[in-house]
Amino acid sequence: MESTLLNLPEPARAAEKNTSAPKNRDHSIPSFWVRDVPVFGDAILAPMDGFSDWPFRSLCRDLGSAMSYTEFVRAQHIVMAYEHMAARLTFDEVERPMVFQIYGDDPDELVAAALRVQDRQPDIIDINMGCPARKVVHNGAGVGLMRQPLKVARIFKKLSAALSIPITGKIRIGWDECRSYKLIARVVEENGGSLIAIHGRTKEQAYSGLADWDAIAEVKSAVKIPVIGNGDVKLAADIDKLKAYTGCDAVMIGRAAIGNPWIFSRLDREQVSPEMVDRMVRQHLERHLAFYGVRKGMILFRKHALQYLKLQHLPRAVRTKIITRENPEEFLELLEQAFALEESETQEN
Ligand SMILES: Cc1cc2nc3c(=O)[nH]c(=O)nc-3n(C[C@H](O)[C@H](O)[C@H](O)COP(=O)(O)O)c2cc1C
């Protein structure tokens, strides 16, 4: 791995709304630009705390995710040079365009953190304005910023003046029914932001309920900078549906990519053979162990293994037995048996 290690360390929308959605699938020309950074492709792995680490991001990038976002990192932890931040900001050159996502509520602290991580040469720095977790919003960070347009203006103005690389923002549609997405998107643009990613849910909805694709379309119409739409993309076909409905430049995929990174190659999980899953689990595990070490790597891999091993013919108890193995050889041996059984049962039926 050629990496940069820090020292601081469903709803299927039947009707198509916007017919002017870009139809470019020729990846030799950029799908869109984040200021001066070209992005080739229109499906992107969403930043996900606990998931979008180097092993998973790099696999998704191999399969077609158009750029890489890190898990979010607290600005204060960067400024205080906490060692554990290093792993979160480790990336591979082939992942570029590389986005470091940071969060905080203090404009000066965000600038100090961004300047510090800018030295590590990400292509873009993104400000999280969507996280609904209590520990993040209690002091006004994450989606808490959606209630503070003046502060968002200060943050983006200061960041875009201080940094040489583009600054972007990932938002929700608002804190509650009082939706501030259009205002915040404009504030980001007017103060130097170069892209908006919008998850079509409020803080109150968290991760359930319908994502509001109309709100995504409204943001796309309200700003000139590129817009990434996010929410309710479950199947490969939803990527084009969301683009067509909203006119957005690209689509971000979170939970549907866990256990199905092939979605970035426009494949649904049922189109992926047990053999392909088997190969992927091995490759993913190998990167996990190389990145985290065996003990931590095996434990952290469970949440991925759980999704990969949602096989039709594998009893739950056996799946649990497999994913809780602490020894990689034992895990791989049981895995091989599970996939052999799945192949033979699938062929018989
Ligand atoms: C486990 C988990 C962790 C997440 N962590 C982050 C994060 O660090 N930064 C961020 O901007 N969004 C984060 N999100 C939100 C996702 O990026 C995305 O907006 C959300 O999951 C909706 O997309 P989906 O329906 O495709 O999953 C997280 C979501 C999940 C499920």
Ligand 1, atom 24: closest residue by C-alpha: 254
Q: Is 70 in the pocket of ligand 1 (CB under 6 A)?
A: no
Nearest to 92 by CA among 115, 121, 118: 121
For residue 169, pLDDT over 80 is answered with yes
Ligand 1, atom 28: closest residue by C-alpha: 48
Q: Is 199 in the pocket of ligand 1 (CB under 6 A)?
A: yes
For residue 166, pLDDT over 70 is answered with yes
Report residue 27's pLDDT band, with 50, 70 and 90 as the boundaries: low
- Between these two residues, 320 and 84, which has the higher pLDDT value? 320
Q: Spelled out in words, what is the top-level CATH class assigned to the domain 273-348? A: mainly alpha
- Between these two residues, 161 and 13, which has the higher pLDDT value? 161
Return mean pLDDT, the chain.
91
For residue 256, pLDDT over 70 is answered with yes
Nearest to 85 by CA among 95, 99, 72: 72
Backbone torsions φ then ψ of 235, nearest 5 degrees:
-120, 160
Q: Is 202 in the pocket of ligand 1 (CB under 6 A)?
A: no
Whole-angstrom distance, CA of residue 170 vs CA of residue 308: 28
Best of 10, 49, 99 to mutate for ligand 1, by most ligand atoms within 8 A of CB?
49
- Segments of the chain assigned to CATH 3.20.20.70: 3-269
Atom of ligand 1 nearest to the CA of 234: 26
- Segments of the chain assigned to CATH 1.10.1200: 273-348
Report the pLDDT value the prediction gives residue 293, as an integer from 0 to 100. 96
Ligand 1, atom 14: closest residue by C-alpha: 48
Whole-angstrom distance, CA of residue 219 vs CA of residue 182: 6
Report the pLDDT value the prediction gives residue 26, as an integer from 0 to 100. 60
pTM value > 0.95: no
For residue 18, pLDDT over 70 is answered with no
Instruction: State percent of the chain over pLDDT 70.
Output: 92
Atom of ligand 1 nearest to the CA of 71: 8
Report the pLDDT value the prediction gives residue 83, as an integer from 0 to 100. 78
Q: Is 47 in the pocket of ligand 1 (CB under 6 A)?
A: yes
Report the pLDDT value the prediction gives residue 21, as an integer from 0 to 100. 37
Note the CATH number of domain 3-269: 3.20.20.70
CA of 115 to the centre of ligand 1 (A): 25
Report the pLDDT value the prediction gives residue 341, as an integer from 0 to 100. 86
Report residue 281's pLDDT band, with 50, 70 and 90 as the boundaries: very high
* Beta strands per DSSP E along the chain: 3-4, 32-34, 37-39, 43-45, 68-69, 73-74, 91-92, 98-103, 124-129, 167-174, 196-202, 227-230, 250-253
For residue 144, pLDDT over 80 is answered with yes
Active site residue 248: no
Q: Is 235 in the pocket of ligand 1 (CB under 6 A)?
A: no
Q: Which residues contact 36 (CB under 8 A, 6 or more apart)?
A: 166
Q: Which residues contact 241 (CB under 8 A, 6 or more apart)?
A: 12, 13, 16
Q: What's the whole-number mean pLDDT along residues 99-103?
A: 98
Nearest to 96 by CA among 123, 135, 62, 57: 123
Q: Which residues contact 348 (CB under 8 A, 6 or more apart)?
A: none
CA of 244 to the centre of ligand 1 (A): 22
CA of 198 to the centre of ligand 1 (A): 11
Report the pLDDT value the prediction gives residue 177, as an integer from 0 to 100. 79
Per residue in 41-56, pLDDT (tens digit) is 999 999 999 999 999 9
Ligand 1, atom 2: closest residue by C-alpha: 48
Per residue in 284-329, pLDDT (tens digit) is 999 999 999 999 999 999 999 999 998 888 888 999 999 999 999 9
Whole-angstrom distance, CA of residue 167 vs CA of residue 160: 6
Per residue in 57-78, pLDDT (tens digit) is 999 999 999 999 999 999 999 9
For residue 96, pLDDT over 90 is answered with yes
Report the pLDDT value the prediction gives residue 34, as an integer from 0 to 100. 98
User: Positive or negative CA dihedral for 16, 19, 24, 30?
Assistant: negative
Q: Which residues contact 179 (CB under 8 A, 6 or more apart)?
A: 173, 202, 215
Report the pLDDT value the prediction gives residue 215, as an integer from 0 to 100. 97
Which residues share a beta bridge with 196? 169, 227
- Between these two residues, 138 and 267, which has the higher pLDDT value? 267
